[in-house]
Amino acid sequence: MTQIGVIMGSISDWSTMEETCKVLDELKLDYEKEIISAHRTPEDMFKYAEEARSRGIKAIIAGAGGAAHLPGMVAAKTTLPVIGVPVQSKALNGLDSLYSIVQMPGGVPVATVAIGTAGAKNAGILAAEMIGAFDDKVAERLETYRSEMTTKVDDMRGELRD
């Protein structure tokens, strides 16, 4: 069953949001991906947010850039956890996206990650951790993911010494 919804404001966000999907694939989590724009398809955005829980979605990852209203507006319409990914915009390097997403009013949280691809990757891991809090198999896969990262650092140390 699809547990994670990955949405983004435009196809131009895909090169960033692809990192979310890659890590979800790696952690073997079921997800769906869709383009939904807060400004260009507002009705679709509200419908998605309102129906997500009844469709079995447990967490929503929303990426957007510039006037990045998608994560906040989705959060306004659901009590599912929403993770916001600030896409690196051309004009302001993503600082606009970050501020648009992170400065939510008290009562309507969006868990905001870093600007760009690192944030997109972490959004996937964070969603997996939310699922893993209730699913031991997912938690185990996260443990493996962590130990593989540690091994990679060991490899780097070896490389530096050689």
**Residues of this chain that bind ligand RP5 (CB under 6 A):** 9-10, 12-13, 37, 39, 64-66, 87
- Nearer CB in complex with ligand RP5: 100/122: 100
Q: Are 32 and 24 in contact (CB under 8 A)?
A: no
Q: Which residue is nearest to ligand RP5 (CB)?
A: 9
> Is position 13 annotated in a ligand binding site?
yes
- Report the alpha-carbon distance of residue 78 to residue 139 in Å, rounded: 25
CB of 15 to ligand RP5, least distance (A): 11
Q: Identify the CA nearest to 148 among candidates 21, 30, 19, 23.
A: 23
CB of 110 to ligand RP5, least distance (A): 14
The separation between CA 160 and the C-alpha centre of its own chain, rounded to angstroms, equals 33
- Report the alpha-carbon distance of residue 6 to residue 29 in Å, rounded: 12
CB of 19 to ligand RP5, least distance (A): 15
Binding residues for substrate: 10, 13, 40
